[in-house]
Structure 1
Amino acid sequence: MVLTSHAPPARRWPATLLRIGLRVALPLLAAWGVLALVYRGPEPVVVRGVLVLAWSAACLAPLSTRAPRWSRWPAVVAVLAMLAWWHSLTPSHDRDWSDDVARLLTAEIDGDRVVLHNVRDFHWRSEQDYDVRWETRTYDLDQLVSADLVLSYWMGPAIAHTLVSFGFADGRQLVFSLEIRKERGEAFSSIAGFFKEYETVIVAADEYDILRTRTNARGEDVYLYRLDLDQAQLRQAFLGYLQRAERIRRQPRFYNTLTSNCTTIVFELARSLDPGLPLDHRLLLSGWFAEYAFDHDGLVAGYDYPTLQARGRISERARAYEGPAAGFPAAIRRDVPGIPANDAP
């Protein structure tokens, strides 16, 4: 008996692997390009639609079993054209911005003394009804006494906006938040955030503005956790936000839902304090970021996570507060673990 092998010669394997790779890569590339054109393609919509069809045809034609060899070249040309167009999309500071992100934070640092320009202190009655107020404020870094991680849930338990609030010995709080820099009338889409749709901005704001608007005007569910940082770490984190704000001021940058968002900046700052912090899926599913911080000893010690979470929910306290802005920070921190007044015997 003569045994025959039907296995392809060894020299065919590279070509076979290439074909398999193209059958996987081209549909994915086609889908990415379609979304890029949908969100960032030229106007009018008819032109955008024609480009979507042409791009899809060029990418998918080589996958046909009857496709002639020359069909690969339109795909190559289309990919090169797409990459050139994508590279041409650049961020800008010169747009008609929404009022709440209209100004860029700037800082003057002289030793322990920091003067911040364009600190936001809006009074919000609703998302559309508010008083615009930007201030210049002076802070003493030697008086930094605390930092709190704040998570504001706006789309289920897995997704939250991440902010950090710094406390000073005189009772003042200053919140930093990396946000999309929306143009007037623009709405946020997490999918669009993958496709250079938004610029990014770092906002410094009073708690009565940036936390109260989320609890009261937007109806979001907000949690606050005391971070376990010493004075040197507080200073480094505070200055880290200012350094990143200055980079954005000098060179506008795009927001990216995956790689440059409100949680990644907190992780970057945390890693500057502890370079050994590992990557984790909770950096993407930001609603669980506080649990990540707890697991790596970032939150105040002496409590289990369910206790920190339950007592850190500030939404109802924020909505119930009707006093002056200066009393808001103490009111929302009532019963939050790690606050000296709450932990006193």
Structure 2
Amino acid sequence: MGFLLAGWAFLALWFQASSPWRIPALVLCVLIGVATMLAPWLQRRKRIWCVAAVGFVATLAWWQTLQPSHDRVWADDVARLMHAEVEGNTLRLHEVRNFEWRSETDYTPRWETREYDLNELVSGDLFLSYWMGPAIAHTLVSFGFADGRQLVFSLEIRKEKGESFSAIAGFFRQYEVVLIAADENDIIRTRTNARGETVHMYRLNMPPAALREALLGYVREGEQIRREPRFYNSLTSNCTTIVFDLARQIAPSLPLDYRLLLSGYFAEYAFDQDGLTPGLDFQVLEQAGNITERARAFTGTPEAFPAAIRVGVPGVQEPPDARH
């Protein structure tokens, strides 16, 4: 156990300790960890355990001083925080991202203010974007309106300029979170086209009242993050747990499941809870919902992108011009 605690302390210091104390602290942590592991065979084992306990308590005390912030030099795609106003059935959403991506590093930034009529909310779709094998995927939810527009929400790490994602670092307060509201032509197309990820889409089986509550749940979450920054956590606060937490507000009896951790299997979990298009096997939904090639082949206007990628997806009623 002592060796495991020393391992946690070492990683915490590795990712968060600053110079000039970082290297000495890491060396001391290693020495204490090794001594703790050997303590059962040493005469001064009690003294070693006492030193290890003091060191661990000191590390915990330092750990609690780490605070999330909105005041950093952020990467362009997470530079702004969405904020919203709801007046009756009108949702006014500020800082909706609508970048034009030509590659991961070549893009035209656009942040927009948009209005949505909540009475015109007609659909919800679950997207899973695979970037690291079948067990890990990024989870997004898109809300569709009667005029054909789609609004996507995605909980992401808020990268600083030049920073890259590490799942291990995500356990150690390396990143803040940001809730991005975006156009599908931005946030879906950048994953399929600019990043080369594989994306699956599933139509959610939700009544209108539940769809509205889920959308407003995202809005409330975005407002909370804007008011109070928080850390991302690879296990407890990520792109999948937010979907589950919001779903549980609507259906409190939803069970915990390993597929909430292995996000690549989250769609199968949703299927088992009757959350996807009924009447078909999951394998059919999974295969038909692979929108990757349609997204990569699309050459039309941004407004036509949502209809084009939904051609053939079960549960989606296709408009007459969806193939153009």
The TM tier, using the shorter chain, reads: over 0.9
Tell me which amino acid in the other structure corresponds to 1:72.
W
Structure 1 residue 269, shift from structure 2 partner? 1.0
Matched, 1:208 2:182: no
**Of 70-79 and 175-184, the range deviating more from structure 2:** 70-79
Task: Summarize deviations over 1:113-156 as a string: whole Å, max 9, x none.
Answer: 11000000000000000000000000111110000000000000
| Other-structure match for 1:50 | 24
| Other-structure match for 2:58 | 81
Matched, 1:321 2:295: no
CA distance in 2 between counterparts of 1:77 and 1:104 reads: 40
Structure 1 residue 70, shift from structure 2 partner? 2.5
Matched, 1:180 2:157: yes
Matched, 1:272 2:249: yes
2:127 is paired with a residue whose SS is: strand
Task: Summarize deviations over 1:245-266 as a string: whole Å, max 9, x none.
Answer: 1111111000000000000000
Structure 1 residue 62, shift from structure 2 partner? 4.2
| Other-structure match for 1:28 | 4
Tell me which amino acid in the other structure corresponds to 1:85.
W
| Other-structure match for 1:12 | none
| Other-structure match for 1:339 | 316
CA distance in 1 between counterparts of 2:265 and 2:36 reads: 43
With the length of structure 1 as denominator, give the TM-score of the two structures: 0.90
CA distance in 1 between counterparts of 2:171 and 2:164 reads: 15
| Other-structure match for 1:285 | 262
- 1:1-345 equivalence runs, <5 A: 25-44=1-20, 47-63=21-37, 64=39, 65-68=41-44, 69-341=46-318
Structure 1 residue 57, shift from structure 2 partner? 2.4
CA distance in 2 between counterparts of 1:74 and 1:246 reads: 44
2:112 is paired with a residue whose SS is: strand
Structure 1 residue 340, shift from structure 2 partner? 1.6
User: Is the CA contact (8 Å cut-off) linking 1:59 and 1:78 kept in structure 2?
Assistant: no
Task: Label 1:52 to 1:322 Cα distance change in 2 as closer, same or farther (>3 A).
Answer: same
Q: Which has the larger radius of gyration?
A: 1
Tell me which amino acid in the other structure corresponds to 1:53.
V
Tell me which amino acid in the other structure corresponds to 1:261.
N
CA distance in 1 between counterparts of 2:157 and 2:69 reads: 13
CA distance in 2 between counterparts of 1:219 and 1:189 reads: 18
With the length of structure 2 as denominator, give the TM-score of the two structures: 0.95
Structure 1 residue 30, shift from structure 2 partner? 0.6
CA distance in 2 between counterparts of 1:238 and 1:67 reads: 62
Task: Identify unmatched segments of 5+ residues in structure 2.
Answer: 320-324
CA distance in 2 between counterparts of 1:138 and 1:96 reads: 29
Q: Percent identity?
A: 60
CA distance in 2 between counterparts of 1:124 and 1:85 reads: 41
CA distance in 2 between counterparts of 1:75 and 1:252 reads: 33
| Other-structure match for 1:4 | none
Structure 1 residue 42, shift from structure 2 partner? 1.1
User: Is the CA contact (8 Å cut-off) linking 1:154 and 1:220 kept in structure 2?
Assistant: yes
Structure 1 residue 66, shift from structure 2 partner? 1.4
Number of equivalenced pairs: 316
User: Is the CA contact (8 Å cut-off) linking 2:310 and 2:318 kept in structure 1?
Assistant: no
CA distance in 1 between counterparts of 2:255 and 2:243 reads: 13
Task: Label 1:73 to 1:321 Cα distance change in 2 as closer, same or farther (>3 A).
Answer: same
Task: Summarize deviations over 1:54-105 as a string: whole Å, max 9, x none.
Answer: 1232344344221413333322221121011100010000000000000000
1:340 is paired with a residue whose SS is: coil
User: Is the CA contact (8 Å cut-off) linking 2:6 and 2:56 kept in structure 1?
Assistant: no
CA distance in 2 between counterparts of 1:191 and 1:273 reads: 32
